[in-house]
Amino acid sequence: FPSEYIGTLTGVMWTLVGTIATIQYGLVKLTDDISRSWRAWLIILILVILMSCHLIQLWWKYVRESKKKSTATVVTSIITKF
């Protein structure tokens, strides 16, 4: 990342950490009654899915960029052959 964005990146990161920590603190109250602890696990599952969305987005961008580069390489090699 460029150095001018490090403050924004740090602020967003700590805001997300604070939000997740607050949600986790609330999960402790949900596990008092063992028969209804499924609610806490449901919230954890939603958080895991939410956080994995970023990895899926990065993977999708990587696949698209690699397809663009491979197409550009083919065009370049065709031009240099003729």
Phi and psi at residue 58, to the nearest 5°: -65, -40
Instruction: Say whether pLDDT at 77 is over 80.
Output: no
pLDDT of residue 39: 83
Distance CA 31, CA 56 (A): 31
Instruction: Look up the pTM and report it.
Output: 0.46
Distance CA 58, CA 65 (A): 11
Domain ranges of the chain: 3-81
Cβ-based neighbours of 36, under 8 Å, separated by 6 or more:
30
Cβ-based neighbours of 31, under 8 Å, separated by 6 or more:
37, 40
Residues 24-74 pLDDT 10s: 887 777 777 778 788 888 888 988 898 888 888 888 888 888 887 766 565
Residues 9-36 pLDDT 10s: 888 899 988 988 888 887 777 777 778 7
